[in-house]
């Protein structure tokens, strides 16, 4: 996020946020978006081949959520969506220990992108309703989040897209975090 973008947002007071929803395939990104939109029928969720854009009004902010497919063939295209991103919601399947190294590699590559340097990072540790789900502490360690540069705002939150556990709380964190930076609001 460049200084000019911040100044423009303050001047226009547009109360709008651009959020990228990313993660490996089958992590639950689209299901989380559906849950955020009011718990629409979750049984019809299909893998996202490309991207979906949904706008949600939350706490008087207009949130443009870009849900981008996580298949290996789509990941090289993620960079096309980085411009003007205010927050990243990284979704991880907490039961998928086999792909934890892939998750770490993709997340590290993502957060090293200069165009995302100012974006807040929420890691949703999804599928907590399933047996064998890793704890948030395990995920913080596995993803080495504590080594992120000082100034990078981040949070790891256990959630379940199916039950709704902590999904709204995560969105609250994102909105409060971004608003405190872009709109000079107190938390």
Nearest to 71 by CA among 95, 99, 43: 99
27 is in an annotated binding site: yes
C-alpha dihedral, 133 to 91 to 112 to 88, nearest 10°: -140
| Catalytic residue status for 71 | yes
From the candidates 71, 101, 108, 163, give the one annotated as an active-site residue: 71
25 is in an annotated binding site: yes
State the Cα–Cα distance between residues 134 and 129, nearest whole angstrom.
11
Has 93 been labeled as part of a binding site?
no
Contact 91, 27 (CB under 8 A): yes
Determine whether the annotation assigns residue 23 to a binding site: yes
Distance CA 25, CA 137 (A): 22
- Has 132 been labeled as part of a binding site? no
Residue 126 annotated as lining a ligand binding site: yes
Q: Which of 176, 121, 115, 108 is nearest to 151 (CA)?
A: 121
Is 127 known as a binding-site position?
A: yes
Parallel/antiparallel/unpaired status of strands 87-93 and 51-58: unpaired
* CB-based contact 162:170 (threshold 8 Å): no
Contacts of 92 (CB under 8 A, 6+ apart): 23, 24, 27, 103, 123, 124, 125, 126, 139, 143
Residues tagged in the binding site annotation for GTP: 23-30, 70, 126-129
Catalytic positions are 71
Residues belonging to the binding site for Mg(2+) are 30, 48
Annotated binding site: 23-30, 48, 70, 126-129
């Amino acid at each position: 996020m460049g200084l000019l973008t911040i100044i423009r947002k303050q001047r226009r007071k547009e109360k709008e946020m651009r959020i990228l929803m990313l993660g490996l395939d089958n992590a639950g990104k689209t299901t989380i978006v559906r849950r955020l939109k009011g718990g629409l029928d979750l049984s019809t969720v299909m893998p996202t081949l490309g991207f979906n854009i949904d706008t949600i009004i939350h706490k008087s902010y207009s949130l443009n959520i870009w849900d981008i497919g996580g298949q290996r063939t789509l990941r090289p295209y993620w960079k096309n969506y980085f411009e003007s991103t205010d927050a990243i919601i990284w979704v991880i399947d907490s039961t998928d220990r086999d792909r934890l190294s892939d998750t770490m590699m993709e997340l590290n590559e993502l957060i090293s992108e200069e165009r995302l340097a100012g974006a807040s990072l929420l890691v949703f540790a999804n599928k907590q309703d399933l047996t064998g789900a890793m704890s948030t502490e395990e995920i913080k360690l596995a993803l080495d989040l504590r080594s992120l540069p000082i100034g990078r705002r981040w949070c790891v939150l256990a959630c379940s897209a199916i039950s709704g556990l902590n999904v709204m709380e995560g969105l609250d964190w994102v909105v409060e975090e971004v608003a405190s930076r872009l709109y000079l609001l107190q938390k």
